[in-house]
Amino acid sequence: MSYCVGWLCSLAWLGYLAGCGGIIGNLIHDCVLSYHPSSVAANNQWFPTIFAITALPIGGIFNSRLTYHFPALEGIMVVIHLASWVAFMVVLWMTSPIGDAKDFLLTFNNGAGWVSPGGATLIGVLMACSGLLAEDTSDASYTIPWSLIISYFVNAAIGLVAGVTVIFCAGDLNEVLSNGTQSPFVTIFHNSTQSKAGTVCHTCPYHDVLHVFANERNGNSLQANMAFARDDGLPFSYKLKHVPDAEVPQTAL
């Protein structure tokens, strides 16, 4: 049983890391699609995969060479994230036509084919991360609960404002969803501003934040696989669990 759980955790973290790369690749592809709709990259769905494969090794470089700079980098990303959020909200408030409240608040579309609209709404909302945080935090019994409480209220306020804004400023949802982009907010912003350069420039900060997020997931995946390799659960565990003089398990990374 423990062997199966170890394999499940290792593969899950690797899949999660690949998913982060996919999000980054799709976002880059959406920028290309918005700026040059007729380009080769915009009309080939394998380009996001190429972008994702290119983006993920950056996390390995950060985790092997710049680990001690992560706290400062994360602080910078928080500032960039909040500044980008303010810019996104203000631009939509100033340029987007406001939709009808009845249509946007009382009409539900279960386009993915889930059993019920309620289930479709709640899919992916919850994520159990407190256990993972507790592994790497000093005085976890005090720090983790307060971090969760503060982040909950801050993110709830930001998410509420962003959600209401996007709901009323989205425009024609059928057009947004059928535009070919994997990130609908890119299409919403472009439809509101009618500016290709403005859309790409505004998307860049989110791309940077996602890169840092992927770098962190790279480290989490490393921890999970190192732990399993120390128990000799993975093929070539003797290589994966080896830590050279650089104090970073380069092979596992």
User: What pLDDT does 134 receive?
Assistant: 55
Cβ–Cβ under 8 Å, residues 182 and 26 = yes
CA 240, 235, 212, 159 dihedral sign is negative
- Look at residue 247 and tell me whether its pLDDT is greater than 70: no
Distance CA 15, CA 23 (A): 12
Q: How many domains does one find in the chain? A: 1
Whether 126 is covered by a domain: the verdict is no
Has residue 40 been placed in a domain? Answer: yes
Instruction: Indicate the pLDDT class of residue 7, thresholds 50, 70 and 90.
Output: confident
Question: Does any domain span residue 157?
Answer: no
Give domain status of residue 163, yes or no: no
- Is the separation of the CB atoms in 13 and 229 below 8 Å? no
Q: Find the domain containing 240 and state its range.
A: 1-91+209-253
Percent of the chain with pLDDT over 90: 0
Which residue from 193, 118, 127 is spatially nearest to 155, judged by alpha carbons? 127
The pTM (predicted TM-score) of the whole model is 0.74
Type of residue at 188: I
Tell me the H-state helices in 96-139. Answer: 101-106, 117-122, 130-135
Highest averaged pLDDT of the listed ranges 5-14, 117-126, 224-233: 5-14
- Specify the pLDDT at position 82: 87
8 Å CB contact between 180 and 15: no
Angle value at C-alpha 59, between 57 and 65, nearest 5 degrees: 105
Residue 124: pLDDT over 70: no
Tell whether the model's pLDDT for residue 217 goes beyond 60.
Answer: yes
Q: What is the pLDDT of residue 208?
A: 78
State the Cα angle at 110 between 45 and 28, rounded to 5°. Answer: 25
In a domain, 150, yes or no: no
Dihedral sign, Cα of residue 193, residue 198, residue 204, residue 209 = negative
Please provide residue 45's backbone torsions phi and psi, each rounded to the nearest 5 degrees: -75, -10
Classify residue 202: in a domain, yes or no. Answer: no
Mean pLDDT in the chain? Answer: 78
Mean local confidence (pLDDT), 7-26: 82
133 inside domain: no
Structure token pair of residue 101: 């409240």
Segment 171-177 shows an average pLDDT of 76
Task: Find all residues with CB under 8 Å of 179, minimum gap 6, and list them.
Answer: 187
Return the structure tokens found at 202. Answer: 């505004």
The answer to whether residue 125 sits within a structural domain is no
| Higher-pLDDT residue of 216, 157 | 157
Is residue 241 within 8 Å of residue 230, measured between CB atoms? yes
User: What is the pLDDT confidence band of residue 76, given thresholds at 50, 70 and 90?
Assistant: confident
Q: How far apart are the first and last CA of the chain?
A: 26
